[in-house]
Structure 1
């Protein structure tokens, strides 16, 4: 559930300051329990992506899209480097591969 909301923010379907649908609405849309949605919302709040306002709802925090993109790019980059190193490549070889791929794009 967290990933779906994060993807909506990255795509621009949800923007800074936007109010998120209610827990009931999400529960109905994604056909999951309210508890599942509550846990996802708590995790998003803990991650600094949304802010819950008691009795009002949850809202996308300013800068969430940039934060999510930065985190995701960092994860993708680390995963790529790890895979290349597991294949026995040194940093210089990884850089050469990237350079070639970019030049051939």
Structure 2
């Protein structure tokens, strides 16, 4: 499991950890039952405070992404596939909104954007 902490990110370190673990779960790179590094080990690996990694794990557990078992560690929780799909759809919607906002800034029309999507999707008739 590779987590990269950016000192230039506007997000706090614990949120960067949460975001990256969630992405690994959503992409299917971390599966139900997979073990996570201990809080201390992750803190050591990332060279951050144990408090930071503890907070990230607690929030992931509260959101149902991981389960922690005393004396055994933290593991990826069973995920409802429909819920995972819904979360991924939300991510897509947020990115599309960003693209639309950027397109409007340069006066890129909806039709031009749709044409670009078709080309990138491989649906261009040419």
Fold equivalence (TM over 0.5)? yes
**How far apart are 1:55 and its partner, in Å?**
4.4
Match of 2:32 among 10, 16, 38: 16
Instruction: Report the aligned-residue RMSD.
Output: 2.9
* Higher RCO (CA < 8 A, seq sep 6+): 1
- Structure 2 gap ranges (5+): 1-16
Equivalent residue pairs, number:
103
Query: For residues 72 and 53 of structure 2, what CA distance do their matches in structure 1 show?
Result: 16
- Larger proportion of helix: 1
Closer/same/farther in 2, CA of residues 79 and 99 from structure 1, 3 Å limit: same
Match of 2:94 among 72, 75, 83: 75
Q: Quick check: 1:48–1:64 contact (8 Å CA) kept in 2?
A: no
Residue 101 (structure 1) aligned with residue 117 (structure 2): no
- Structure 1 gap ranges (5+): none
TM-score (normalised: structure 1): 0.70
Closer/same/farther in 2, CA of residues 42 and 78 from structure 1, 3 Å limit: farther
In the other structure, the counterpart of 2:7 is none
TM-score (normalised: structure 2): 0.61
Closer/same/farther in 2, CA of residues 16 and 49 from structure 1, 3 Å limit: same
